[in-house]
């Protein structure tokens, strides 16, 4: 890895400097435009809002800088995943998905890939290498998986999929480019929901596809233009602003999550706690090898659905909400979204609150829920 997280973060805020002339605004201007001034020969500049937009370009420059690869923006994480599927797959192809990853990816395959003649199989993240990858044209993993935080070996899957002739996609949403670098570990494509930590303020949906394979980037770009699944310039502008503080937020969130995971694990009301950063966690050795940080998600179980609900609702510094990665700590009882987990299973997304205050609120609510 030539660039470190520190050097990437430091230069991120100054990427625009080279293009500035005297009197230009330092922050990114927002260009709300469906049409552009297009006299004469129509190549080499902005033509129409479905084809290109200067605010997208600036955002994609930042995302590309973070990923270390050409990157294409989409209006949501699912739009980015859809673009990979529909731009790269054809009838007769077979896809391998994580059995325990984000549910909407499997739903998309079931409802929309299958009728187009693209079959899919599912495999648990923790044993993803078992069975090999022969016969697949696209292999998709999410590591750590959401919500159980199992991990698979990205470099090993990359080597095996390359041998099998499959394209290897990693959904890196839970880690962000500051926490894990799948392309450097050999993945062909990264997809991510910037809706989560990258934007961080829970006010925008966004997604991206990154790849060092020019044909992949060209295909998803063409898909975006043809399908019309384009990001709004204002959403791109908001994400651009969010990304300027991603490194600071992510650092705080991961540090706090390590502290809180340790204390939760020692708490008598908690069982089945998973956090890749804890020495005893089944994911720990692999996490140390392939992740730059251990993330901000912690999962665990309380004894009953009622206790889990009381804990989440009763915590003064926690929002009860789906999604994760925001500046505010949030949690959700995942069985209510249909994940195959026990009723008292909680996914906690540690936010940016000062950690001692956050822990005090968590401890107080845990005790109240036990009463
Ligand atoms: C949220 C999420 C998505 C989908 O992102 P949207 O912006 O909601 O479409 C995809 N993958 C993972 C792992 C997610 O957490």
Q: What is the CA(142)–ligand 1 centre distance, in A?
A: 11
Establish whether residue 76 lines the binding site of ligand 1, counting it when its CB lies within 6 angstroms of any ligand atom.
Answer: yes
- The CA angle 141-217-123, to the nearest 5 degrees, is 15
Q: What is the CA(317)–ligand 1 centre distance, in A?
A: 24
Atom of ligand 1 nearest to the CA of 101: 13
Structure tokens at 361: 């609120």
pLDDT the model gives residue 2: 59
Establish whether residue 74 lines the binding site of ligand 1, counting it when its CB lies within 6 angstroms of any ligand atom.
Answer: no
Q: Is residue 69 over pLDDT 90?
A: yes
- Provide CB contacts within 8 A for 119, sequence distance 6+: 93, 94, 95, 113
Q: Where are the alpha helices (DSSP H) in the chain?
A: 5-12, 54-67, 77-88, 103-108, 154-164, 176-179, 214-227, 233-243, 246-265, 284-290, 305-314, 355-370
Residue with the smallest CA separation from ligand 1 atom 2 is 193
Please state, for a pLDDT cut of 90, what percent of the chain lies above it.
91
Taking all residues of the chain, what is their mean pLDDT, rounded to a whole number? 96
In tens, the pLDDT along 18-63 reads: 889 999 999 999 999 999 999 988 788 999 999 999 999 999 999 9
Site to probe by mutation for ligand 1, drawn from 102, 152, 239, 347 as the one with most ligand atoms within 8 Å of Cβ, is 102
Q: SS3 for 260?
A: helix
Residue with the smallest CA separation from ligand 1 atom 11 is 102
Cβ neighbour number for residue 86 with a 10 Å cutoff = 20
**Exposed, middle or buried by CB within 10 Å (0-12, 13-18, 19+), for 25?**
exposed
Q: What is the CA(85)–ligand 1 centre distance, in A?
A: 15
- Provide CB contacts within 8 A for 23, sequence distance 6+: none
In tens, the pLDDT along 21-33 reads: 999 999 999 999 9
Site to probe by mutation for ligand 1, drawn from 143, 195, 200, 332 as the one with most ligand atoms within 8 Å of Cβ, is 195
In tens, the pLDDT along 184-203 reads: 999 999 999 999 999 999 99
Q: Is residue 311 over pLDDT 90?
A: yes
- Give the mean pLDDT of 130-150: 95
Site to probe by mutation for ligand 1, drawn from 193, 205, 339 as the one with most ligand atoms within 8 Å of Cβ, is 193
Q: SS3 for 152?
A: coil
Distances (CA, A) of 249 to 132, 191, 324: 38, 21, 13
- Give the mean pLDDT of 163-192: 98
> How many angstroms separate the CA atoms of 52 and 35, rounded?
10
Residue with the smallest CA separation from ligand 1 atom 8 is 77
Residue with the smallest CA separation from ligand 1 atom 1 is 193
Establish whether residue 205 lines the binding site of ligand 1, counting it when its CB lies within 6 angstroms of any ligand atom.
Answer: yes
pLDDT the model gives residue 17: 86
Helix (H) or strand (E) holding 110: none
Q: Is residue 1 over pLDDT 50?
A: no
Atom of ligand 1 nearest to the CA of 196: 1
pTM to 2 decimals?
A: 0.96
Establish whether residue 98 lines the binding site of ligand 1, counting it when its CB lies within 6 angstroms of any ligand atom.
Answer: no
Buried b (16+ CB within 10 A) or exposed e, 291-316: bbbbbbbbbbbbeeeebbbbbbebbe
Q: What is the CA(40)–ligand 1 centre distance, in A?
A: 42
Task: Catalogue all structural domains in the chain, each as residue range(s) with its CATH number.
Answer: 27-37+48-243 (3.40.640.10), 246-370 (3.90.1150.10)
| DSSP per-residue codes, 301-333 | E-SSHHHHHHHHHH-TT-EE-SS--SSS-EEEE
> How many angstroms separate the CA atoms of 118 and 25, rounded?
48
Establish whether residue 143 lines the binding site of ligand 1, counting it when its CB lies within 6 angstroms of any ligand atom.
Answer: no
Q: SS3 for 215?
A: helix
In tens, the pLDDT along 75-85 reads: 999 999 999 99
Cβ neighbour number for residue 229 with a 10 Å cutoff = 19
Q: What is the CA(293)–ligand 1 centre distance, in A?
A: 20
Q: Is residue 117 over pLDDT 50?
A: yes
Q: SS3 for 168?
A: strand
Q: Are 79 and 207 in contact (CB under 8 A)?
A: yes
In tens, the pLDDT along 213-257 reads: 999 999 999 999 999 999 999 999 999 999 999 999 999 999 999
Q: What is the CA(267)–ligand 1 centre distance, in A?
A: 31
């Amino acid at each position: 890895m030539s660039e470190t997280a520190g050097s990437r973060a430091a230069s991120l805020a100054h990427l625009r400097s080279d293009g500035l002339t005297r009197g230009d605004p330092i922050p990114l201007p927002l260009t709300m435009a469906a049409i552009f001034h297009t006299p004469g020969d129509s190549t080499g500049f902005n033509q129409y809002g479905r084809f290109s937009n200067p605010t997208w370009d600036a955002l994609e420059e930042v995302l590309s800088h973070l990923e270390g690869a050409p990157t294409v923006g989409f209006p949501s994480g699912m739009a980015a995943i859809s673009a990979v599927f529909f731009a790269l797959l054809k009838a007769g192809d077979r896809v391998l998905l994580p059995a325990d990853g984000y549910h909407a990816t499997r739903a998309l395959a079931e409802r929309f890939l299958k009728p187009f003649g693209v079959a899919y199989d599912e495999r648990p993240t923790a044993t993803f290498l078992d069975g090999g990858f022969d016969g697949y044209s696209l292999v998709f993993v999410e590591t750590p998986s959401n919500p159980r935080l199992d991990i698979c070996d990205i470099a090993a899957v990359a080597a095996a999929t390359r041998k099998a002739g499959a394209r290897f996609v990693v959904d890196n949403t839970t880690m962000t480019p500051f926490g894990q670098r799948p392309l450097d570990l050999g993945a062909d494509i990264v997809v991510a929901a910037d809706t989560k930590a990258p934007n961080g303020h829970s006010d925008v949906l966004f997604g991206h596809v990154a790849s060092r394979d020019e044909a992949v980037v060209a295909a998803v770009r063409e898909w975006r233009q043809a399908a019309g699944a384009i990001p709004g310039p204002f959403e791109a502008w908001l994400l651009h602003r969010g990304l300027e503080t991603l490194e600071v937020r992510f650092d705080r969130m991961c540090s706090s999550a390590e502290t809180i995971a340790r204390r939760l694990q020692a708490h008598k009301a908690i069982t089945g706690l998973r956090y890749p950063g804890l020495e005893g966690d089944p994911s720990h050795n692999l996490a140390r090898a392939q992740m730059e940080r251990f993330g901000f998600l912690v999962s665990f179980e309380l004894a009953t659905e009622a206790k889990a609900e009381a804990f989440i609702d009763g915590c003064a510094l926690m929002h009860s909400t789906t999604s994760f990665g925001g500046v505010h700590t949030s949690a959700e009882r995942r069985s209510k979204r249909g994940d195959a987990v026990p009723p008292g299973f909680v996914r906690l997304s540690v936010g940016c609150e000062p950690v001692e205050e956050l822990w005090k609120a968590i401890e107080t609510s845990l005790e109240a829920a036990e009463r």
